[in-house]
Structure formats: structure tokens, C-alpha cells
Chain A
Amino acid sequence: MEMPAPNQAILGLKDRLVARLQTVLPADAVIHDQAETRAYECDALTAYKCPPLCAVLPSSTQEVSDVLRICHEMGVPVVPRGAGTSLAGGALPTADSVILGVARMTEVLETNYDDRFVRVQTGRTNLSVTGAVEADGFFYAPDPSSQLACAIAGNIAMNSGGAHCLKYGVTTNNLLGVTMVMMDGTVVELGGAHMDAGGLDLLGLICGSEGQLGVVTEATLRILPKPEGARPVLMGYDSNEVAGQVVSDIIKAGVLPVAIEFMDRPCIRATEAFAKAGYPDCEALLIVEVEGSDAEIDEQLGLITQIARRHNPVELRESTSAEESARIWLGRKSAFGAMGQINDYMCLDGTIPVSQLPFVLRRIGEMSKEYGLDVGNVFHAGDGNMHPLILFDANKPGDLEKCEAFGADILRLCVEVGGCLTGEHGVGIEKRDLMVDQFAPDDLDIQMAVKDVFDPQWLLNPAKVFPLDASAKRRAA
């Protein structure tokens, strides 16, 4: 993945920049020592690394505004950062950029159960938002697997999803308002604690804009009353086709599970070796979870298992206790870790129409043989969001490049069958150059025109999302 050459003039400004930043931030919030800036050289897409010019860790919206005003005046690019768990390289710095991390902004600012919202600083982690309200019977619905670590800031920037978004939606469906600082330091409020926009839906535009339109410092999030209970059922099938059919039948039957997760054989084997969850050795495994009171769960699981049986499962295991539920989820939750035990892996994130599932899995299997790289599939089947994990050896010359080419082919396949490049991880640098496969030049131009409005100098996270040649003129201007 190519990154633009650093601007030499900006590199030369480092001392002056650091001095100015130190006038608006406490000394320990400006990190400029070369050894220390290394901590910010990458996010979870670790194949790409580059230490920034410096990193700042402001504690308030005002400090963020001060930092941005200075960078704006000096023409220095800024890369916003939450917890650095992006799998797309969204928070990857360039050598001539300032990393603006919100990790110190973790306060809960307001909790209002009657009006069902919580307002937090965006450095707060996803899980600790729920942590702040769960004693009172509430939760924040979007639940990325990285929820222990990832920050609300990154969730908003990537419009992150999670296992339970089939029922509750993704970040944008649960975000009511934000405080955002524009590149020139102006602070704006978008949305609020009410429902829907009164004019143009600028909040909807900000969510998923990958840190390119403004730095989000505070967020008002919708919270929901916790369901009385939840229980999964596990089913194994001999073929991906049949499992795909089961998913479609469940949806058509009018059940709306909170989650339908799918794992294929390579992934099942890897997780079994690693986590020993007791999964059957079969071609395709589904975990379907429903919520409600005990009786309601029984009613829904009854219907689901009835459908499951019609398709001759090799295994059907309905959870009847918390321990059993935990065991059923254990393998799924350790799937990424398990694959990581075997080798380095790259996690893809395309979405396809659910009906294309068997075809796409078959094609991925064929391509895996052609490329000579193993791949395991684990994904949110209810909404067609796939996560093929391609295994490669980072120490073997050429393997990363081969893996990237394979990944690109899979994503192009997703687009070809009517889907898209990314369902929840975002474009970042990883899928930047594939955007032309999904969008016509005009489709990209209108998106870049939006950035022109919010950040005319293209200083915020400039080398992401859009192919470098498509954005070159705008970045240079």
C-alpha cells in the first residue's frame, strides 16, 4: 500500500509546532520524542507502520480545538485516533502528521434513563459505556468484538457494527448527537438527544466518515433496557449451501434473532484446536441467538430448531443454561485469536446479499487453492457481512503481497455479486485503492466534494478512503 511522500517543509516545522502545541496542552500531553511516537506508528493493521511527527493527547473539546487551530494555521495534517484497533489502517500516521488521540477523554458527561441516552467523551471504550449504565438495567447496543479496547470515537468514525446488530443496528442507528471540532478549530453540535434531523442529516454524514470531516469529542448515545435474557442455539451442517438456506428460512419465518453467526470448516477446526469449545467437525456451523423472557426464548428457539431440523443438521444443540451459552459462544469469540495461533492473518470485511453466500464461499475456496493460502470464514450471516481470514507468513518474502492480492480478489467478488467492500471495518488505507471497483469516478467525486466542504485543505486524515490518484489534486491544492 502506497502512502504519499511526507512533505519536507512540514517535517522542518516540527520544533516550532511542538513548541506551539506545548502552549495549549500540558507537557505530558505532547509526545514528540522519537522513541515515544513509535507507540502511535500503527493501528491493528500492523503490516503498515510509520511514526508520526508527534502525538497529542488532549483532555477536553477546548484543547482539541486549540490543537486543530494550530495545525490548521501551520498547514500540518492531523490523524485522529481512538484506541488504534482499526483493521483498515484508518489511524495509520504519515511522517508529516500529528496524531490526535482522544484516549484521555473518557468521562461520562450525562446519564438520562428517562430520555434513554448517555453522553460521553469519545475516548471512552465501547464496553465501558455499557458498563456505566448496566447496573441500572440498560446497555449500549453496538458491540464490536473489539469492544473491550475500541473507543466510541473510532466506532463513530467507522460506523462499527457487532454480532448483535441484526436486531439493534450499527453505530449510526444508535448515535443521537456529537460534539465535533472542525479542522479550523470551530466547535459544532450535530444532532442532540432527540430523534432525527431538523434539516440535512449532517450527523448521519459524520458517522462513518473515517476521521476525515472533523474530530468527534463527545457523543450522545441511545441506550436500551436490557432484555430479560438471551440464549443461543448451535447447529452444524454438511454443506455451506444448506447452512445458507437455513439462515434464509429463519429470516423468512419472521423470527428476528439478535445474532446469526456462521463459521466454516477451516475456522471450526482452528478454534477447536485452540479453544476446545466442543464444536462438531462439519462444513458449516451456525450460532443463532434470541432474546426475551424464558418462555419467549423457548417459543423462538422452538421455531428455529424446527427449521433447523428440516435441513438435517449433523448437530443441534440448544442452550439451556448460562454455562452452555458461554460454551457455544466461546469458540466464536476466540475465532480470530485461534486463527492468529496458526499464522499471521488478514481479516476481510465484505458484505454480500445473503442469497450469494454458498456461491461466494465456493469461489473463495477455489481462490484459496489458486493462491496457495488458507482461509477461514467467520461472519455475521444474518446481514451477509463476511470476515474471511486469510492466513499468511509475514516473515516469508512475498507472502503479504500475495495475501493482499487474494484479499482484493475476494472483495471484488463481493462487489460483483451485488455487495460491497466493507460492512463495518471501514476503508482506511486497506480498501482505498479498491474503491474504483465499487464506485464510478463521479460517485467518488461527490464524496470528495463533501470533504472539500468540511476540510477544504484536506488536512484531516488525508491519505485514506479515496485512491491517492483520485484525491491527488485536492490534497495538493
Chain B
Amino acid sequence: MMTPQTEAELAEMVGAAQGPLHVFGGGTRPIGRPVTGEALSLSALSGIVEYEPGALTLVARAGTPVAEIEAALAAEGQRLAFEPMDHRTLLGTEGAPTMGGVVAANVSGPRRVAVGAARDFLLGVRFVDGTGRVLKNGGRVMKNVTGYDLVKLMAGSYGTLGVLSEVSLKVLPQPEAVVTLTLHGVDAAGALEAMTRAITSPYEVSGAAYLPGDTPRVFLRIEGFAGSVAYRAAQLKTLLADLGQITQTDTPEESADQWRALRDVELLAGCANVWRVSMTPSALVDRLLPALGDALGPYQLDWAGGLCWLGADAGAGAADMHTRLQALVADPAINAGGGGHATLIKGDAGLRAQVPVFQPEPAPLAALTRGLREKFDPRGILNPGLMG
């Protein structure tokens, strides 16, 4: 395994590589088609380079553990507002999630619906392309339109366009208070109604999720200054009163636990296969879920209905289920031009090698994607095939 200690060393190793490389940070997110290649770990490229609380910006090397960054931010009363999911529980993996890994997979949590995704908080990157060149884009300031935005392109590229060496991020203050409202006993349609009412109200919810099952519940999170949180919680209770019984958390810890479980999709940790589907809330809840019929297993809605996590047990049907989900997402009758994607997040290596893990793109987009890969990684050595 190669473990570069510096960016220069990383560049040298990539430039000198004779074959495919399997690039990873903490190794906690084995997502995508399995890659065969020499292991390249970013774990030693670690440490916070610069943190300016008054400017809400932080720069860190790609291998820096997320926990280290979160601790440094917490000490100043700040946080990563996009609330990156920790995949270890769901995927049964070990190791320390790294900041580079979060960025490479564009990992966000429930707060994404209110504040944006990892890609929206990524201000700049340094990376090594497939030829071993050290490149930079963006910077460490909050507004920057100088040249093309390769920062967005690198977020969610899973190490296939370049190996991230350093990332710079926008951070936000932690709120003074947090309260979670729970609406009990609603079905999926009722949950969508509740979440939609809440998110289209002026009362700023920073999370809206739904767990179906025997005790179905909608969770709504409200954060901010104490007076404001109390006011908005009261307004939301009135707004949703006709939909069912509503309870409220008493302590911030209680809220934090609930949202950590939702963020990490703990509900589906026991499932052998897990998919993540992003569509408009109405396409997802009103059309896609009903279309699945009996095939619909345990699931969780997040992002006010715009994100669905679907679980299934191991079995011969997994590949079929995958094909069906991706076909439904691409079906205009379900989706009416809204776009969207279904991604296999959890599945054994055999399944991941067999199916297109990421939603297949229409031909002209696939051609652009291919063209970009040829420019960033002309030899095709960076996590080849991972994204299809």
C-alpha cells in the first residue's frame, strides 16, 4: 500500500504509477464498482492547515479525520453545517472517515435540505490529476467565480478525476438551541403533507425526515436562538395540528441522538442491500414508492421527502430490484422531467461488480463525462470503473 506523507510525494507516486490505483481516505465508504488496483491511502496527508473562525473558513489536508475537524470547530462554537453522514454503522465498516472522503463522495446529512450539500460548502481544492500534476481550483474565500468551478466537479467524483490533497470549507456557527418536533401516526402521504407544509413555511426547519413502520413518525428539527426556536416550534405545532399528535424533545442531547440515527440511516443497518434515491418529493412519495408495490421493504425519507433510503435483504432479487429502481427513476411517468437518481450504496462486491451502481446517464451526458475523465486521467488509473 502507498501512503504518501506530502502532496509532492503523492504527485510523484501518481505520476510514476504503472497501473490502476485504488484511492481511498478512511476506507469507511466502499461505494461504487469494486476497484482492482494498488492501494493508495491518503491517511497520512492529515491535519488542519488553517482555521479562521471569524471568516467561517477552514482548510485541511484530505486525510484529516472528520472527527478532528468537528472537534476543532466545536471548540469555537462552529460546525460543518451540511452534517456529513458517517457510513460506518450502515455499511459495517471500520476506520476513521476523512474530510477528503466526505468531499469525494459529496456526503451530506439531513440538514442538506435547508443549507446545502457538501459541494455547497466546498470553497477550494488541491488535487493531483491522473498524470501526477498538482492542480488547484477555488480558494479559501466564500465568494469566488474566478475561472471554471472545478470545485463542484471534484465534489462527488469519488477520486476518479483526481486525488484530493487539500480541501477548504465554509463552516457555520452552532445554534444556541435545538428542538425536534415529532408527529405521530401518519402514513407516507401524510408525512409528505407535513414535511411540505413545514418546509414551505417561514419557520425554517433544518431537518424533515420520516420513519414508517408500526410507529410511523415525522421528525422536524428547529435550530437557532432560544427565543426564535420556541416561537417557530409553537407556530409549526399549530400549522400541523390537524395531522396528528405532536411531541417535542426536552433536551438538545435527545435531538442530537435522533438526528444522528437518521443521518447515519441506522434503521437499515441490518439490510444487506441499501439504495439511495434522490428525486422531487412528489415523484418519490406519490409515485415511486407506490410503484414498487410488494417490493417496498424498510425505508426512510429525508430532505422533506426529496431523499429516500431503501433497504432489502440479501437474495437473488437484488440485481432485479436495482434495475427496477433505476428504470423507475428514469421513467417520465414517474418523474415528469424532474430528473433524479438511484444509487446502490450497500451491496456485496459481486452485486456492485454486476450492476451500474450509479444511475446511468443519457448518451450525450455520458459522452461529456467520458471526455472529462480522458482529460483529468488520460491513462485511466484513478479508481477506474468505480463510477461506471
Residue of A nearest to B227 (CB): A299
For the complex, what is the distance from the CA of A295 to the CA of B361, rounded to whole Å? 49
**Does B21 make an interface contact (CB < 8 A)?**
no
Contact between A355 and B148 (Cβ–Cβ < 8 Å)? no
Contact with B along A110-124 (1 / 0, CB 8 A): 001111110000000
Instruction: Tell me whether A202 and B143 are in contact in the complex, defined as CB-CB below 8 angstroms, given that A116-B200, A208-B148 are known contacts.
Output: no
Contact between A204 and B153 (Cβ–Cβ < 8 Å)? yes
Residues of B within 8 A of A191 (CB): 339
A296 CB contact (under 8 Å) in B155, B228, B375? B228
Contact between A198 and B175 (Cβ–Cβ < 8 Å)? no
**Does A148 make an interface contact (CB < 8 A)?**
no
Residues of B within 8 A of A365 (CB): none
Chain B residues close to A by CB (< 8 Å): 52-57, 76-77, 106, 108, 112-113, 116-117, 119-120, 129, 133-137, 139-153, 155-157, 161, 172-176, 196, 199-202, 224-225, 227-228, 231, 278-283, 303, 306-307, 335, 337-343, 358-359, 361-362, 364-365, 368-369, 371-372, 374-376, 387-388
For the complex, what is the distance from the CA of A173 to the CA of B113, rounded to whole Å? 12
Contact between B364 and A200 (Cβ–Cβ < 8 Å)? no
Instruction: Tell me whether A200 and B196 are in contact in the complex, defined as CB-CB below 8 angstroms, given that A194-B279, A446-B375 are known contacts.
Output: no
Which of B146, B156, B342 has the most C-beta atoms of chain A within 10 angstroms of its own C-beta? Answer: B146
For the complex, what is the distance from the CA of A112 to the CA of B279, rounded to whole Å? 14
Contact with B along A175-191 (1 / 0, CB 8 A): 00100001000101111
Contact between A201 and B153 (Cβ–Cβ < 8 Å)? yes
Instruction: State how many angstroms separate the Cβ of B278 from the closest Cβ of chain A.
Output: 5
Instruction: State how many angstroms separate the Cβ of A398 from the closest Cβ of chain B.
Output: 28
Instruction: Tell me whether A205 and B228 are in contact in the complex, defined as CB-CB below 8 angstroms, given that A115-B280, A199-B387 are known contacts.
Output: no
Chain A residues close to B by CB (< 8 Å): 112-117, 137-138, 158-159, 161, 165, 169-170, 172-173, 177, 182, 186, 188-205, 207-209, 225-228, 248-249, 251-256, 292-293, 295-296, 299-300, 303, 351-355, 380, 382-385, 418-427, 431, 435, 438-440, 442-444, 446-447, 449-454, 465
Contact between A198 and B282 (Cβ–Cβ < 8 Å)? no
B368 CB contact (under 8 Å) in A196, A439, A453? A453
Contact between B146 and A431 (Cβ–Cβ < 8 Å)? yes
Residues of B within 8 A of A113 (CB): 200
A196 CB contact (under 8 Å) in B119, B157, B224, B231? B119
Contact between B281 and A444 (Cβ–Cβ < 8 Å)? no
Instruction: State how many angstroms separate the Cβ of B279 from the closest Cβ of chain A.
Output: 5
B361 CB contact (under 8 Å) in A169, A199, A449? A199
Beyond A116-B199, A353-B55, 18 additional pairs, beta carbon < 8 A: A138-B200, A188-B362, A192-B339, A194-B280, A194-B341, A196-B108, A197-B156, A199-B361, A200-B161, A254-B77, A256-B172, A292-B202, A384-B143, A426-B145, A427-B146, A446-B375, A453-B368, A453-B374
27 residue pairs of the A-B complex, CB under 8 angstroms, read: A113-B200, A115-B281, A159-B145, A159-B149, A161-B143, A177-B339, A193-B339, A194-B341, A195-B113, A200-B157, A200-B369, A200-B372, A208-B149, A225-B199, A225-B202, A248-B54, A254-B77, A296-B225, A351-B144, A384-B55, A385-B142, A421-B146, A439-B146, A446-B376, A451-B148, A452-B375, A453-B374
Instruction: State how many angstroms separate the Cβ of A197 from the closest Cβ of chain B.
Output: 6
Instruction: State how many angstroms separate the Cβ of B136 from the closest Cβ of chain A.
Output: 6
Instruction: Tell me whether A254 and B143 are in contact in the complex, defined as CB-CB below 8 angstroms, given that A115-B281, A205-B149 are known contacts.
Output: no
A443 CB contact (under 8 Å) in B137, B149, B281, B368? B137
B228 CB contact (under 8 Å) in A112, A299, A427? A299
Contact between B145 and A158 (Cβ–Cβ < 8 Å)? yes
For the complex, what is the distance from the CA of A28 to the CA of B144, rounded to whole Å? 39
For the complex, what is the distance from the CA of A241 to the CA of B281, rounded to whole Å? 48
For the complex, what is the distance from the CA of A137 to the CA of B76, rounded to whole Å? 36
Instruction: Tell me whether A196 and B339 are in contact in the complex, defined as CB-CB below 8 angstroms, given that A208-B149, A435-B146 are known contacts.
Output: no
Instruction: Tell me whether A204 and B119 are in contact in the complex, defined as CB-CB below 8 angstroms, given that A195-B113, A254-B174 are known contacts.
Output: yes
For the complex, what is the distance from the CA of A255 to the CA of B56, rounded to whole Å? 12
For the complex, what is the distance from the CA of A200 to the CA of B228, rounded to whole Å? 39
Contact between A419 and B56 (Cβ–Cβ < 8 Å)? no
Contact between A209 and B140 (Cβ–Cβ < 8 Å)? no
Contact between A353 and B231 (Cβ–Cβ < 8 Å)? no
Instruction: State how many angstroms separate the Cβ of A71 from the closest Cβ of chain B.
Output: 19
Contact between B202 and A226 (Cβ–Cβ < 8 Å)? yes
Contact between B173 and A353 (Cβ–Cβ < 8 Å)? no
Residues of A within 8 A of B146 (CB): 420-422, 427, 431, 435, 438-439
Instruction: State how many angstroms separate the Cβ of A172 from the closest Cβ of chain B.
Output: 7
For the complex, what is the distance from the CA of A172 to the CA of B138, rounded to whole Å? 14
Residues of B within 8 A of A295 (CB): 227-228, 231
Contact between A114 and B282 (Cβ–Cβ < 8 Å)? yes
Residues of B within 8 A of A453 (CB): 368, 371-372, 374-375
Residue of A nearest to B162 (CB): A446
Residue of A nearest to B372 (CB): A453
For the complex, what is the distance from the CA of A293 to the CA of B229, rounded to whole Å? 11
Contact between A384 and B278 (Cβ–Cβ < 8 Å)? no
For the complex, what is the distance from the CA of A188 to the CA of B368, rounded to whole Å? 10
Which of A173, A204, A254 has the most C-beta atoms of chain B within 10 angstroms of its own C-beta? Answer: A204
Residues of B within 8 A of A422 (CB): 144-146
Instruction: Tell me whether A418 and B141 are in contact in the complex, defined as CB-CB below 8 angstroms, given that A172-B152, A204-B119 are known contacts.
Output: yes
Instruction: Tell me whether A172 and B149 are in contact in the complex, defined as CB-CB below 8 angstroms, given that A196-B278, A252-B53, A419-B141 are known contacts.
Output: yes
